[in-house]
A = this chain, B = another copy of it.
């Protein structure tokens, strides 16, 4: 018995055992226990570095675990512990640089703490978003980090998440009424920064192709735009303020609409880079000089804004920071025993990146 953990002896037992279990596929904690003639509980504790297990045993357990190619069964431990160490992420889509960067940073922070993430896409559809939530709840995620679809106005499904006591963190597209944590940039101020910049460039008729008013962030950008005009004593012209779905296609359409005006704008602030790209294409087609005839500013700092001709000025939304903060906010709940969420906002200052499309003086 004294020589039980002696290497030579151990190897013998091991090889015997390996033959025996060769038929079944996966090594479990019990297999390790059998090899070492100790209880499964001891193995579990050894693997989790429990203080009640001797160093010698821990070492032996880990050695055998390695030799048997042991892979812990996450499902079993998750079931027993009542937590899955999985966090659900819902985004409208992953193929925008903003969202993919947020996701990357969420992952980075959470992986360090032993959490993994499940990414789902809503494609801006309310129905898909509801399905995603069901999927995530079904998978027993320990938390959900989400940016809401454009379509979403009914918050019932998100209330369901809250009701289950699962931490919910929203970013970018949020909703105050849910009274949960939110991380985003200061949309209202961003509009001010943009208008101010355009005024400084000598612009007098600034149009805004904005998002749907019902989405809070776009509403804030619109409010910011209106108030900033006021601040600079520019009159608000209703035909210069247009609501849009903000796709590239719709950006084209709305820009064409602006060009048809008798009194054209000399600058256009578009609430999304994708729509700004559409606007740019229309302007180029009409051989309108950018920024001399019409200056253009987008929103989101997508990489392509620096690729197109001319390059498009845009607002950097600090995607990395948003991702990190969202993950940290989730982690803060894992340390608490009772989950009592309240409206808790982290608002980052956005930053205007001036590029060719709005750089007139200089």
Contact = CB atoms under 8 A, between A and B. Distances in A.
Interface of A: 25-26, 71-76, 78-79, 84, 86, 93-97, 100-101, 103-104, 107, 111, 116-121, 123, 131, 135, 137-140, 164-165, 277, 281, 284, 304, 307-309
A281 B307 CA distance: 8
A25 B118 contact: no
A131 B116 CA distance: 11
Contacts of A135: 111, 116
A121 B107 contact: yes
B104 A121 contact: yes
Contacts of A97: 95
Contact of A94 (B76, B100, B120): B100
Contacts of A121: 104, 107
A289 B267 CA distance: 31
Contacts of A277: 307
Nearest to A116: B135
Closest 4 CB pairs of A and B: A95-B100, A309-B309, A75-B79, A94-B94
Nearest to A138: B74
Contacts of A94: 94-95, 100, 103, 119
A234 to B, nearest CB: 31
A117 B116 CA distance: 12
A79 B95 CA distance: 34
A95 B105 CA distance: 13
29 contacts: A25-B164, A25-B165, A26-B164, A71-B137, A71-B138, A71-B164, A74-B139, A75-B75, A75-B79, A75-B84, A79-B79, A93-B100, A94-B95, A94-B100, A94-B103, A95-B95, A95-B96, A100-B100, A107-B120, A111-B131, A111-B135, A117-B118, A118-B119, A119-B119, A304-B304, A304-B307, A308-B308, A308-B309, A309-B309
Nearest to A118: B118
B309 A75 contact: no
A197 to B, nearest CB: 24
A228 B308 CA distance: 32
Given A94-B95, A304-B308, 16 more contacts: A71-B164, A73-B79, A73-B140, A74-B138, A74-B139, A75-B75, A75-B79, A79-B79, A94-B100, A95-B97, A111-B135, A116-B118, A116-B139, A118-B119, A277-B307, A307-B307
A304 B306 CA distance: 11
Contacts of A95: 94-97, 100-101
- From A94, A100, A138, residue with most partner B Cβ within 10 Å: A94
Contacts of A25: 164-165
A70 B72 CA distance: 29
A108 to B, nearest CB: 10
A71 to B, nearest CB: 6
A86 to B, nearest CB: 7
